[in-house]
Amino acid sequence: MSKYLNLEKNPKYINLKEPAQIIQEGGIVIFPTETVYGIGVNGLNETAIKKLYEVKQRPINKPISLLVNSIEMIEKVAKDITEIEYDLIKRFLPGPLTIVLKKKDIVPDIVTAGFDTIGIRMPENEIALKLIEYAGVPIATPSANISGRPSGTNLKAIMKDFNDKVDYFIDGGISKIGVASTIVQVVNDNPYILRKGKISEEQIKEQVLLSKQKNRIIKGK
């Protein structure tokens, strides 16, 4: 039977240590972020990720992003990060942006559907950040819905689909933003929007332009 923890009105984050341990051990936890609720597992555990695909009924050829809680954790799973990518990370994260970076070998191929890149996001939600901190690993986290259905922003509705299929539900109330994150990939120093979301293409292009101007000034010294 799935366990349930309500942190909406009484946010005792120390209680997140139990679901964090479940993630460490290969279990599945549904938890809030500022965009929509996520369904997550240890992002470095291939067996847990396979189980996540099955429970969510997600096609195996669709990659899953990793949620992290720090730049240091990003650097554990991604490599060859450019100055423009670092500037995007520093400006928009924590927040509703997923940035696609080159993955390190530590990330199982099943997470990325065999691609050499990985989507990474740092959520702007204290429950999610503390859960990642206590788990000590990046959490592979698609939206908490059966594939093909709308993303969930209210845990009570989500529980109907996943009751007894996951190990833990964490209730943080209604999602603040309610739409999925923007996904961006930088190729040859140019940003490409792979999915529209809260952060606009204009905001991203503005930051990339600032980064390029800064880099030109540095090179000109």
Peptide bond preceding 11: is omega within 30 degrees of 0, i.e. cis? no
pLDDT at 221 over 60: no
Cα(143)–Cα(63) distance, integer angstroms: 12
Rg (alpha carbons) of the chain, rounded to whole number: 17
Mean pLDDT estimate for the chain: 95
pLDDT at 105 over 80: yes
**82: number of Cβ within 10 Å:** 15
Helices (H), 25-166: 46-56, 71-77, 83-92, 109-112, 126-135, 155-162
Cα(105)–Cα(49) distance, integer angstroms: 16
Cα(163)–Cα(129) distance, integer angstroms: 24
pLDDT at 217 over 80: no
H-run or E-run covering 185 = strand 182-187
pLDDT at 113 over 90: yes
Is the four-CA dihedral 150, 151, 156, 159 of positive or negative sign?
positive
Yes or no: domain 3-220 corresponds to CATH 3.40.50.300: no
Cα(22)–Cα(93) distance, integer angstroms: 26
Task: State both tokens at 188.
Answer: 């040859």
pLDDT band at 219 (very low <50, low <70, confident <90, very high): low
**188: number of Cβ within 10 Å:** 5
**pLDDT reported for residue 215:** 79
pLDDT digits (tens, 9 = 90+) for 17-65: 999 999 999 999 999 999 999 999 999 999 999 999 999 999 999 999 9
**72: number of Cβ within 10 Å:** 8
What count of residues does the chain have?
221
Three-state DSSP state, 5: strand
Name the percent of the chain lying above pLDDT 90: 94
